[in-house]
Amino acid sequence: MSSIAIFTLFASMGTDAYSTADFLTPPDWFAHGLGNSGGVGKGGSIEPINVIISAQSQINPIKALTSFSSFTTCFDWISTLQANVNPGQTTRVNQSVGLRDGGCIQWALGGNHLRAWPQTLPDGNTAYFIAASTESPCISDGGNSAPPFVPNWHCIDADGFNEGRDQLTDDFTSVSLKYPFVLGIQKVQLYPSGVGTDAGKGSTIDHIPYDGKVNILTLTMSNCPQNLKRSGEC
């Protein structure tokens, strides 16, 4: 394979080029806060699912991202959100992975971060549903007392949901040139636009807009047999 990956734009918003081989429609398009922290994790807060890694991908997207970009777990210092992405599932579950762009530096200074939940399809392949957003350190009581003038939580940036989605897509584009793999991208309107719900007094996650568009990414290898679709087989 060439040392430069092929970048493919499959479709733009409104073109249904994806199928049930990529993912199945989840019961809920949002991740929900548990109240385990102020700001982002405040109970009642929501974050939209805005990136999907297609189940037709042929490599492990989390491994690729952590191996060839600055995304790391930073000792799992990320608040827990819960989502329900598997059809027939009736309860929400914690994210299976949380990553920060820049690792612990992002934790201290802000930037992009993500949480991901796997969806297992009937054929055994796995799609990943991701809530990505940019954030900044902030002073937020999250319903509790907070010291004045001392950043003590992370708050979503003014357009942080949409920015996080598009920045993460740019990161996968950069990773595709290093791995390398073929990256397919679709931006599709999958649910109505809206704003985040009230996360509590002092939290700037309140009323952050999201446009309802989801970037669907497919990571494939040009030298991998087409019948091998499960992540990690190539």
What does the pLDDT read at residue 199? 47
pLDDT along the chain (234 residues), means of 10: 39 62 96 63 76 95 95 84 94 94 81 95 96 82 52 76 97 94 96 74 64 97 69 55
What is the β-pairing status of strands 126-138 and 153-156?
A: antiparallel
| CB 218 within 8 Å of CB 183 | yes
| CB 159 within 8 Å of CB 177 | no
Q: Cα separation of 226 and 204, whole Å?
A: 46
Which DSSP letter does residue 5 get?
A: P
Partners of 197 in the β-ladder: none
Q: Cα separation of 226 and 229, whole Å?
A: 7
What does the pLDDT read at residue 155? 77
Domain boundaries, the chain: 7-220
Q: Cα separation of 15 and 150, whole Å?
A: 46
CA distances from 132 to 17, 34, 106, 149, 175 (A): 23, 17, 14, 27, 17
What does the pLDDT read at residue 208? 85
What does the pLDDT read at residue 230? 54
CA-based radius of gyration for the chain: 18
Q: Cα separation of 179 and 177, whole Å?
A: 6
What would the 3-class secondary structure string for 154-222 be? EEECCCHHHHHHHHHHHHHHHHHHHCCCEEEEEEEECCCCEECCCCCCCCCCCCCEECCEEEEEEEECC
What does the pLDDT read at residue 145? 47
